[in-house]
């Protein structure tokens, strides 16, 4: 199972949002580069980065910070936030990012998702961020009337290499991931699925590891790391198990 420790960047700092609310965020002392250093020093292999400024503005606001992390560490890095054109995908891939996450742009324009998947094979990740099963976009500020399952059925054959399913109401809460909804998506998805939102303890991750045979590729862990509820050494042990 792949474990993706998270770095969410806003105003050049590591932050965590509560339920995607930009007005309810925790800012941490360590810089994104310092946090990535910790992950690398503990032997973790993957990294999930979100440019929150980019998600709000539709621009690659923190590209320079992300490029420094990519260049300094030998990690498999997926990046999302504000990526709404083929040119922006190319920019990230050219600096060495492993995979690019498409969210709002893919939801608003499925043909863009299809074009990206065809042009950048095995490089595109679909991010489905939901509230009560309905997809949210524009940095989670807008909730659509589109059910995640219905959207997925329309784009399932486009060729994205991974699907991240986030329950926004769990994100940043440390109240356990929404396993049931994620499994419902995993049963449909042609691509392997990553669990996101609500991880509170190492036991949550152990539970996810037990269901990886059901098309679950891994899990994203954020606030529980920053708050000290999960030790990086524990994550490494589970990733290797």
Q: What pLDDT, in 10s, does the model give residues 38-80?
A: 999 999 999 999 999 998 888 999 999 999 999 999 999 999 9
pLDDT above 70 for 139: no
Contact partners, residue 151, CB within 8 Å, separation at least 6: 107, 110, 128, 135
Mean of pLDDT over the chain: 93
pTM of the model: 0.94
Selecting among 53, 74, 108, 129, the annotated active-site residue is 129
The mean pLDDT value for 130-154 works out to 88
What are the sequence ranges of the domains in the chain?
2-240
Please check whether the domain covering 2-240 is classified as CATH 3.30.70.270: no
Residue 129 annotated to the active site: yes
- Confidence band for 120, pLDDT divided at 50, 70 and 90: very high
- Confidence band for 138, pLDDT divided at 50, 70 and 90: confident
The mean pLDDT value for 99-113 works out to 96
Contact 145, 131 (CB under 8 A): no
Cα angle value 203/208/209 (rounded, 5°): 95
Residue 8 annotated to the active site: yes
């Amino acid at each position: 199972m792949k474990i993706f420790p998270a770095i969410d960047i806003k105003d050049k700092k590591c932050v965590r949002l509560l339920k995607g609310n930009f007005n309810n965020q925790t800012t941490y002392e360590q810089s994104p580069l310092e946090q990535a250093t910790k992950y690398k020093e503990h032997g973790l292999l993957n990294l999930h980065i979100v440019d929150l400024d980019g998600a709000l503005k539709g621009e690659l606001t923190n590209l320079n910070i992300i490029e420094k992390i990519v260049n300094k560490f030998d990690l498999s890095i997926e990046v999302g936030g504000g990526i709404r054109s083929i040119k922006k995908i190319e920019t990230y891939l050219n600096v060495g990012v492993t995979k690019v996450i498409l969210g709002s742009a893919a939801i608003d324009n499925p043909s863009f998702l299809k074009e990206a998947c065809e042009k950048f094979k095995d490089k595109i990740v679909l991010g489905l961020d939901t509230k009560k099963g309905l997809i949210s976009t524009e940095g989670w500020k807008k909730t659509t009337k589109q059910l995640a399952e219905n959207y997925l059925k329309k784009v399932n054959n486009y060729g994205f290499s991974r699907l991240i399913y986030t329950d926004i109401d769990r994100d940043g809460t440390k109240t356990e991931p929404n396993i049931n909804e994620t499994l419902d998506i995993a049963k449909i998805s042609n691509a392997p699925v990553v669990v996101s939102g609500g991880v509170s303890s190492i036991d949550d991750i152990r539970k996810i590891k037990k269901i990886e045979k059901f098309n679950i590729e891994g899990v994203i862990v954020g606030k529980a790391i920053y708050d000290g509820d999960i030790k990086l050494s524990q994550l490494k042990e589970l990733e290797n198990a």
